[in-house]
Amino acid sequence: MIAGAEALLVAPFTDYGFMRRALVACAALAVGSGPLGVFLVLRRMSLMGDALSHAIMPGAAVGFVFAGLSLPAMSLGGFAAGLAVALLAGLTARLTRQREDASFAAFYLISLAAGVLIVSLRGGSVDLMHVLFGTILAVDGPSLVLVAAIATVSLAVLALLYRPLVMECFDPGFLRALGVPGGLYHIALMVLCVLNLVAGFQALGTLMAVGIMMLPAAASRFWARQVWSLICLSCALALAAGYGGLVLSFHASLPSGPAIILMAGGFYLLSFFLGREGGLVWRFFPSRRRAAGLITDGSLSS
């Protein structure tokens, strides 16, 4: 029984180096992307994560054209392209009447099409699949270092900016009236997102990388009610999805990237139905706390 569980859950990682490296990469992605996803969800910018991840595509593709499947070249290109799109979308929103989310959508469609085109200029459909869906089982030493370094940097920066970021999400007017440049924190958040999507794209691909960022964060919204607990839960769910997805892909011979994201998607659906904070089931069994509505106090005369 125990031996069976060990063979099922542990052996893949003790027996195979590529599985260990994939697990470490997933762990680094989880702690780096988890908190960022929470901030994007809280800022109602979930779709912008999606847009940014596609924006990385043409940059990575240009890197591929010049250097083949080389991680440094593709990462650098992806980072530059992601930043450019984030910047352009922000600028368009300020200079024109176009809303920021609409310009994000426009730019990401353009970049996705451009990216696919550029890759197919030189590579075949296998290369295209690599870029779009990643190859987590081929993660090597240097790419592990890159992913871990990005996770470390984003955690450190988030720790430094945590309070103003939270205040800026909640009540931007009050923070700006204190003389704090809230816009700068917004830009810092965007840069961190692009960095983490770049970290995720080799493992999960440009189409899937955003999944490990957004799905655990969206799922944790159904359980936690504080920013810090949302972040902890989001990281834990991302970690569990990474581990579970790898085990699943190993035993069922499934591609690892989609398995990981589907695992995270499973957590999201479970939370959506069962979550204590607004899950679907509780609509039919309203608890006393839910039924109470807003807290009021009629006898308030100070």
Q: Take residue 152 and report the two structure tokens written for it.
A: 């470390």
Query: Quick one: 108 or 222, whose CB is closer to another protein?
Result: 222
Nearer to another protein, 42 or 67 (CB): 42
Which tokens go with 17? 């180096």
- Closer Cβ to another protein, 97 or 283, answer by number: 97
The residue (of 253 and 301) whose beta carbon lies closer to another protein is 301
Q: Least distance (Å) from another protein to the CB of residue 207?
A: 29
Nearest to another protein of 25, 218 (CB atom):
218
Q: Is 302 helix (H, G, I), strand (E, B) or coil?
A: coil
DSSP annotation of 294: S
Nearest Cα to Cα of residue 45 among 210, 205, 160, 184: 210
Q: In angstroms, what is the minimal distance from the CB of 281 to another protein?
A: 21
Contact of 198 with 75, CB cutoff 8 Å:
yes
**Least distance in angstroms from the C-beta of 178 to another protein:** 5
Residues that bind another protein (CB under 8 A): 42, 97, 160-161, 163-164, 166-167, 169-180, 224-227, 230, 294-298, 300-302
Cβ at position 167, least distance to another protein in Å: 6
Q: Min. distance of Cβ 254 from another protein in angstroms?
A: 36
Selection from 182, 173, 213, 215 nearest residue 196 by Cα? 213
d(CA 70, CA 158): 29
